[in-house]
Amino acid sequence: MRPELQPANVKKLILCNHLSPGDIVMLTAALRDLHTCYPNEYLTDTRTSCPDLWDNNPYITPLNDHQPDVERIECDYPLINESNEAPYHCLHGFVDFLNQRLGLHIRPTAFRGDIHLSDMEKSWYSQVHELTGEDTPFWIVVAGGKFDITIKWWQTERYQQIIDHFRGKIQFVQVGEQGHHHPKLEGVIDLRGRTGLRQLVRLVYHAQGVLCGVTAAMHLAAAVETKNGSPAARPCVVIAGGREPVNWEAYPHHQFMHTIGQLPCCARGGCWRARTVPLGDGDERDRPDRVCLDVVNNLPRCMDMISPADVIRRIEKYFDGRIVNYLTTEQATAANKAVAATAGNVFPEASPRARLAQPDRVKTVLLQQASGEHIKLLDLSDHLHASYAARHNLTFTSIRGSVQSERPPVWDKVVLIRMMLELDFDLIVWLDADTLILRPEVDVRQALPDGAPIGMCRHPLPWETQPWHYNAGVILVRNTHAARSFFEEIGHGGQEDHPWQEQARMNALSQRQPELVQRIDDRWNCTSGVNPVRRPVIRGWHGQGPRAVALMKAAVAACRKSERPNPLNRCA
């Protein structure tokens, strides 16, 4: 082992990557392996598309990009280009890159990514437990995917046959990200669009098993530890086909269902093509050299060769081997309550052509989150806000449960805004759970004029020496370097010694950097008795506590009753 370096000689690295969640799971493994192989020699931080995957990570030390002794590294893994010939797993990808970049000899130290849950997170009930009232065993199913690589999709009807076969024996929980293709399955607990990335990590922690294609859920199934009393390795059945080589993707304890070596197009390895058929959305993945060569029954032949019966048998083997147990009658009854409770989940089906319909629109996310009793507010507004987002071609993300555990839940908005900035949305629109869009015909993009990248309404309650404060119930953020730095500074440090918490820190920083925050019109965050306006676009019930639920319920009922301006469409 190399001698321990003095603190002054410790190298400082910021590892950057903005690929998909599965790729970031691989980067967590590389960071672990770096510190395991070279202990006490590096201080490391990350800048990635998935900051939630780094929560509680012992190898993260907050570093400043602008310090002269900090090296920022854009990470890649060119080793993937050798995956069909060389005996490497994707866990080697970033390790090999860092070895070449830093002149090291890191080696993989565990056959999984490195995801950490706090003791508090592990003590929380799962979303399924909250619905069933007990610790019900369940399997996660991901029955769709992104439009960029449709060749990974399997048919919805085939997934449904598996769900039907195990009805009353295995309870499946369907998950999927809004904006992606995830057709509804029957007989499942429907959490599509209801799990942020950190919530998905916690859901995987509680899951008995996972059924999916080659996707982030597969990597999380291996990387996330299992609960006490569960098998050391989580069951996972992966419908893979012939796109990726087995050695590059498969984990030892997974059932990785592939057709490598069984077809001419994947005779010697994965084809690495992107789409089953062209989608006509202008993406380069529609090129002939990126499209499947052998389509049958609307599937790549390699996926068509995998039947529902094949998948059922792979799942059954875990139960035949007594690694896991089927549901009891009582557990199945409790699970049915959760199926019924989520049957009305609103999940607008995305279209690959949406981008073409409005090519000049700013890529915008409408973002909400709540925990505890405030979840009732999201339950009231979700349908209206999802419809609004679909009307204006926005991504709508509504998250239930806290996404961090170090500070009070009001700080979740800071974590989520930073996440959306890392995901390269052009505009982030944050709405507190106690707000409601009253005028669906008005596009929220027009709320933030040119100028400062962050917009909030001013409310008349004083802040320090000024007679008003910026209210953080509605925040619009244009994705600029200055805006990222602003929210990065807001996110650093502990909780504020002020009842306004994150709002206090935003107001304090806006006084020091007034060029970054501008006032937006009160119609974008109108609160009765505070800043009344005629015909508000967004109404808030800030400070109303439990009364907010009843007040919003009445407003939602009025909105649904008529498309005409409703009687609550004023803020006085």
Name the pLDDT band for 563 (thresholds 50, 70, 90): very low
Name the pLDDT band for 353 (thresholds 50, 70, 90): low
Name the pLDDT band for 352 (thresholds 50, 70, 90): low
pLDDT tens-digit series, residues 32-45: 999 999 999 999 99
pLDDT at position 284: 85
The CATH fold of domain 128-341: Rossmann fold (3.40.50)
CA distances from 406 to 409, 415, 436 (A): 9, 11, 28
**Coil, strand, or helix at residue 356?**
helix
pLDDT at position 8: 65
Name the pLDDT band for 360 (thresholds 50, 70, 90): very low
- For 310, residues 6+ apart whose C-beta sits below 8 A from its C-beta are 257
CA 77 – CA 446 distance, rounded (Å): 40
pLDDT at residue 230 is higher than 50:
yes
Query: How confident is the model over 251-277, as a mean pLDDT?
Result: 96
- Pick 549 or 109 by higher pLDDT: 109
CA 74 – CA 71 distance, rounded (Å): 10
Q: Where in the chain is the domain with CATH 3.40.50.2000?
A: 128-341
Helices (H), 112-215: 119-123, 127-132, 156-165, 197-206
Q: How many alpha carbons lie under 13 Å from residue 78 in its C-beta half-sphere?
A: 6
Percent of the chain with pLDDT over 90: 60
DSSP 393-450: T-EEEEEES-S-SSS-GGGHHHHHHHHHHHTT-SEEEEE-TTEEE--TTS-GGGGS-S
Name the pLDDT band for 359 (thresholds 50, 70, 90): very low
pLDDT tens-digit series, residues 150-181: 999 999 999 999 999 999 999 999 999 888 89
pLDDT tens-digit series, residues 433-464: 999 999 888 899 989 988 889 999 988 888 77
Longest dimension (CA), the chain: 74
pLDDT at position 206: 97
CA 246 – CA 174 distance, rounded (Å): 25
**Alpha-carbon dihedral sign for residues 564, 376, 187, 306:** positive
pLDDT at position 408: 84
CA 508 – CA 464 distance, rounded (Å): 9
pLDDT at position 495: 59
pLDDT tens-digit series, residues 372-408: 888 999 989 988 898 888 888 889 988 888 877 778 8
Percent of the chain with pLDDT over 70: 93
pLDDT at position 347: 86
- Pick 545 or 186 by higher pLDDT: 186
pLDDT at position 501: 82
pLDDT at residue 3 is higher than 60:
no
pLDDT at residue 568 is higher than 90:
no
CA 451 – CA 129 distance, rounded (Å): 46
pLDDT at position 65: 79
pLDDT at residue 569 is higher than 60:
no
pLDDT at position 18: 86
- Whole-model pTM: value is 0.67
Q: What angle do CA 156, 395, 523 make, to 5 degrees?
A: 145
- Pick 228 or 305 by higher pLDDT: 305
Query: How confident is the model over 494-514, as a mean pLDDT?
Result: 81
- The beta-strand segments (E) located in 199-345 are 209-212, 236-241, 255-258, 295-296, 299-300
Q: Which residues of 69-80 are buried (b: 16+ CB within 10 A; e: fewer)?
A: eeeebebebebb
pLDDT at residue 131 is higher than 90:
yes
CA 47 – CA 196 distance, rounded (Å): 18
CA 125 – CA 450 distance, rounded (Å): 44
pLDDT at residue 355 is higher than 60:
no
pLDDT at position 492: 75
The CATH fold of domain 358-571: Spore Coat Polysaccharide Biosynthesis Protein SpsA; Chain A (3.90.550)
Q: 137: closest CA among 184, 160, 162, 169?
A: 169
Q: What angle do CA 71, 72, 76 make, to 5 degrees?
A: 130
Query: How confident is the model over 200-208, as a mean pLDDT?
Result: 97
pLDDT at residue 571 is higher than 60:
no
CA distances from 86 to 79, 244, 565 (A): 9, 13, 64
Looking up tokens 């319920």, which residue turns up? 553
pLDDT at position 493: 62
**Coil, strand, or helix at residue 532?**
coil
Q: Where in the chain is the domain with CATH 3.90.550.10?
A: 358-571
CA distances from 433 to 10, 278, 459, 481 (A): 44, 39, 18, 27
Tell me which H or E stretch contains 458. strand 454-459
pLDDT at residue 64 is higher than 90:
no
pLDDT tens-digit series, residues 14-61: 999 988 999 999 999 999 999 999 999 999 999 988 888 999 999 999
